[in-house]
Structure 1
Amino acid sequence: MAFEFPRPRSRAPIHRARMSLRGENYVYGNPEVYAKDMERLLREEKFCDTRFLVGQKVQAIYGHKCIMASRCSAMSSMLLPNAGELMQAARSSHLIKDVEPDIFRFVMRYIYTNRISFITLPTNKLIEILRASLHFQLHDLAKLVEAHLISLIDMDTVFALLNIAVKYKSTELSFTAMSFIVQNAQNLLNASNEGITVLTPAAMLTILKSDDLPVNELTLFRMAAYWAEEYLYAETSQISLLRSQSSQLGRSNPSQRSSHSKSLTNIYKAPRSSFFSPVSPRKRRARAYRAVWTVMSEIRFALLNPTELKEIEADEELKRLIPPRCLADAWRILTFKHTNSHADEKLTITTSLPRRRAHKPSSARNEGSL
């Protein structure tokens, strides 16, 4: 009978770090346990050596310099401008007014744990998190937020999400939103869709610059004109309301002025313009008209037929929304087409030139009067 060595008793596996040939460390273990430990460290605020004064109402939030600086380059520049500051014992404070406390806590939780959950977050909070992640140069977090926002695109949210994509230069979100708009252009890009009023001038420009919209130019013009009228009304009515509230504030007694100030702050929290800036109402109105003219100049008026151009010129309310040179250039281009000539070099407004766009035949474009 052959002799057999006794088998060693099995032991529980030990997670150890092993060294590769290149010298990197491979750490074994459960990442969930590590994340929970880091989250507890953040929640219990133990051993904190820095303080953030966050939000308009200034709420104190505590953190650890070494963790924040190592995970976020923007935080590193803010927390450790000098190499010797890491060893300072005194607790430092940093003012961050342009981020709300709940958003900053969300960002800090990601920095500490590298985890994120969007389950209970409304869209407006996601937008603020995206803005904060870009502000603090947390590009991985920004990509995660963008991916989640893309999953939310539908008929009701696409315009608002396009606003976000254009404002924060999110290429992927902008591309996906525009693809959805092109696919659903017949339902989205018309004057009967009140949802277009949420578009910012920059987002409307993005739509009108597209060469792939399967909508004829007259429909796009009506849609853009409806947006422009609503945009101007919103801007000018807010200016008038500000004047009315200011006059009431001047006539009110000192005990009533604080309540007036609060109501003004709530009313004029709109993102389109800052109504407590030193810009005069006249300049604000002029700025609003410049924005409208910039948008309307992207309509390819040379794709309209002469009858449609005449109807537009006959309507004074529509003419005030359009830069005069756009209509003049459109007539010149149509004349050149009729005479088989070429446009001269004086036509510098390229957006009034005919360019490729998927539009219906001219026989189907006469959809009634404007």
Structure 2
Amino acid sequence: MAGLCSARLQGEAAAFTTALRTLVNNPQFSDVTFVVGREQQKVFAHRCVLACRCQAFRGMFSQGPVGSEDPPGSIPPQGPFILGNVQPEVFLAVIEFLYTNSVTLNSHIALEVLTSSVEYGLQDLCKLCVKFIKDTLSVEQVCEALQAAVTYGQADLQQHCLAFIEGCTAAVVRTQGFHELSDAVLVQVLRSDRLAVDELDLVQAVREWAHVSSTPPGARSITVHLPLILQAVLERPVPEVAALPVRELRLPLLAPSELATLESHNQRDLLIPVESIAAAWRAHALRKGSGVPSHLCRPRRGTRPRDHHRHLDPHAK
């Protein structure tokens, strides 16, 4: 008698995906409902699909809706589960991925889908988001992408964003995204030797960043209508906000006339510590970068040449 033969044969994956796609947000046969976003949009799903694809949903279904008095395992079939902090379009992208292993992205939701992929522990979705963001990166969005990359530990995306910023720095520093960077991420940008912008322009960009960052996000739209005394309460001191980034400004690269103007402007907001300005003047007086960290005397790729730069170069003869 011949031995028993067995094999696993693969059908057409596309047909299977197409069939599952018809179940995305389809109330037919749905056994769980989500109420999503400020719009309170209903999204219909199938518990078995979400649970087998995502540990986070498995845990959610095991615990039941917040406030439910039912013991685990006796969750009402329709939920609903309230998800008020995510956009419906973003949540539907996550659902689409769980059903079809593919996702439809656009530049308006990609970063938020990346955030959700990290929150739900969906590594494959995270990789798809990173690839899309890298492929569609723009001047307006690169700083937001960099901030997300640092926040979620996406080293590859972080390096890609930094390289992008280095290529068009002068345009990037004028964007809203640049003004909304955290101080720690801005420090990473300012440490680059390859920024395509002059140091004087970079100082001004950091000054504008500091003034924007000194006002809490929720108060920026209303402070212009408040009395000055109340604005002062809402705002943080500019020197405090900018304490870390200003250490990366390469003041010795500025010409004496530029440094004098900077010192005059600095009296208004005290952005730059007096010690840093004094060190830059000392570098001019001694005709070398004595007492100043060597990297602060190193021109960037976009630094406009000044006559005194040759005295700052430790390798110059």
Query: Which residue does 1:368 correspond to in 2?
Result: none
Query: Unaligned regions of 5+ residues in structure 1, if any?
Result: 1-16, 20-25, 245-279, 366-370
1:99, distance to aligned residue in structure 2 (A) = 0.8
Offset at 1:110?
0.9
Q: Give the distance between the partners of 1:243 and 1:101, measured in 2 at CA.
A: 35
> Could you tell me which of 216, 223, 248 is aligned with 1:240?
223
* Structure (1 or 2) with the larger CA radius of gyration: 1
CA distance in 1, matches of 2:246, 2:31: 54
Structure 1 residue aligned with 2:307: 363
Residue 303 of structure 1: aligned partner: 253
* Equivalent position of 2:127 in the other structure: 143
Post-superposition offset of 1:108: 0.7
SS of the counterpart of 1:45?
A: coil
Q: Verify the 8 A CA contact 2:25 2:45 in the aligned structure 1.
A: no
Q: CA deviation at 1:152?
A: 1.7
Q: Does 1:59 align with 2:38?
A: no
Choose which of 203, 219, 223 in structure 2 pairs with 1:221. 203
Instruction: Indicate whether 1:110 and 2:97 are aligned.
Output: yes
Gaps of 5+ in 2: 65-70, 310-317
Equivalent position amino acid for 2:307 in 1? S
Correspondence for 1:210 among 189, 192, 214: 192
CA distances 1:319-346 after superposition (whole Å, capped 9, x unpaired): 53223343244445666x55896x4xxx
Q: Does the alignment pair 1:71 with 2:53?
A: yes
For 1:188, which of 171, 180, 184 is the aligned residue?
A: 171
Report deviation, 1:30.
Answer: 1.1
Partner of 2:315: none
Residue 112 of structure 1 deviates from its aligned partner by 1.0
Please tell me whether the aligned partners of residues 216 and 234 of structure 2 are also in contact (alpha carbons under 8 angstroms): no
Q: Conserved in 2, the CA contact under 8 Å of 1:49 and 1:89?
A: no
Question: Residues 285-364 of structure 1 correspond to what in structure 2 (within 5 A)?
Answer: 285-286=235-236, 290-316=240-266, 320-331=270-281, 338=287, 343=291, 353-354=296-297, 357-358=300-301, 359-363=303-307
**Partner SS, residue 189 of structure 2:** helix
Matched-pair contact (CA < 8 Å) for 1:299–1:351: no
Query: Does structure 1 conserve the Cα–Cα contact (< 8 Å) formed by 2:37 and 2:87?
Result: yes
Does the alignment pair 1:201 with 2:189?
no
Give distance in 2, aligned partners of 1:56 and 1:154: 28
Aligned residues: 294
- The question of whether the paired residues in 1 share the 8 Å contact of 2:146 and 2:162 is answered with yes
Contact 2:215 2:235 in 1 (8 A): no
Instruction: Give the distance between the partners of 1:106 and 1:353, measured in 2 at CA.
Output: 45
Q: Which amino acid aligns with 1:51?
A: T
Q: Which amino acid aligns with 1:100?
A: Q
Task: Pick from 16, 21, 41 the counterpart of residue 34 of structure 1.
Answer: 16
Amino acid at match of 1:240: T
Q: In the alignment, which residue of structure 2 is the partner of 1:134?
A: 118
Q: Residue type of the partner of 1:66?
A: C
SS at match of 2:137: coil
Q: What secondary structure does 2:34 align onto?
A: strand
Q: 1:53 touches 1:61 (CA, 8 Å); kept in 2? A: yes
Distance 2:87 2:139 in 1: 29
Whole-Å Cα distance in 2 between the matches of residues 90 and 239 of structure 1?
44
Identity of aligned residues (%): 24
Residue in 1 aligned with 2:312?
none
- Within 1, Cα distance between the matches of 2:177 and 2:42? 38
